[in-house]
Amino acid sequence: MNWIILIIAGLFEVAFASCLGKVKETSGTTMYLWFGGFIISLTISMLLLIKATQTLPIGTAYAVWTGIGAVGTVLMGIFFFKDPVSFWRIFFIVTLVASIIGLKVVSSH
C-alpha cells in the first residue's frame, strides 16, 4: 500500500513542477491560480511522502519519489511545454525508469 502512496506522491511532484512552469508563463490572476496549484500539489506530495516513509526505507522512497517526479516532469515538458527531445534525453529517462524499478525489486519491504 505504501508503494501506491509513494507513486501518488511522485505524481503530485510532477503536478507541482508543472504548475511552477505555468507560473513562469502566465501573469495576473492566472499566475496566482497556478501558484495555488503549486502550493497544494507540493503539500499533498510531501504529506504522502512522509506517510510512505513510515514503512519504506527513506533512501529508497526518496529516490523513487524524485525519480517519478523527474521522469514525469521531463515528459510533461516534452508534451506540454515543447521541451526539446533527443535520443540521449530519452535514453537517460529509460535508464532512470529502470533504476526506479530496480530499487522496488531489491527493496526488502
Residue 88 has a pLDDT of: 95
Number of domains in the chain: 1
pLDDT band at 104 (very low <50, low <70, confident <90, very high): confident
* Boundaries of domain holding 22: 2-106
Q: How many CA atoms lie within 13 A of 77 on its CB side?
A: 17
Question: pTM for the complete prediction?
Answer: 0.86
Round to the nearest angstrom and report the end-to-end CA distance of the chain: 11
What is the mean predicted confidence (pLDDT) over 95-108? 85
pLDDT band at 16 (very low <50, low <70, confident <90, very high): very high
**Cα–Cα distance list, 98 to 10, 45, 79, 103 (Å):** 16, 22, 21, 9
